[in-house]
Amino acid sequence: MTDTAESTQKIALVTGASRGIGAATALALAQAGYHLILTGRSEQHLAEVEGKIHGAGGTATIAPFDLADSDAIDRLAAAIGARWGRLDLLVLNAGQLGTLAPLPHIEVKEWNSVINLNLTANWRLVRAFDPWLRQSPTADVVALTSTVGHEPRAYWGAYAVSKAALESMIAIYGLEVEAITGIRTHVVNPGATRTAMRARAFPGEDPQTVKPPEDVAAMILAVLPR
């Protein structure tokens, strides 16, 4: 990890921050005064987002790795805890669509991959960062979901199942911590948004007919304390 943050800055971690909603959210949070920790698989793309943040007068740290590496999540949490002693905001944005197909047609390897990234990796993140979220007087956890997570839709398979489970997991965590910590949990449904995932799901759609990722970033900021 590179770069530093002022001790008074709030510290935010955004997963899947190399493009789309994650990148837009990171830029918006930096403008709001957060120091950003950017995670994603592409160091090059993360560095580009970091450059935009610095260019706008903000600060950021990049931490490129694959969320499928559960041990790497624990190592990142330990590093952030040692460096800043807390985490003020965790944005669980990274996700995988998988194949849109009847459930019996989904390959086992792909099912496991989608569930691991969209659900299990997020549980590992909550588990690893819980001690540092508790060190913040006003910590927030924001999870990105989808309409298919609470409105079942044929052929959306592992993605829909993973989002339904993610919503339940974040609600459970919120109930567990609300009475004893300053941690607040939020589930944000972006709706139709101009992203690469949306283009894969709806290849015939004109991307200009759906909202840009910056609109979702504004939605996320709207749920955070001022």
Catalytic residue among 34, 155, 159, 173: 159
Instruction: Tell me if residue 173 is catalytic.
Output: no
Calpha distance 105→121 (Å, rounded): 24
> 140-144 and 35-40: which strand pairing?
unpaired
In the block, residue with structure tokens 């819980």? 130
Active site residues: 159
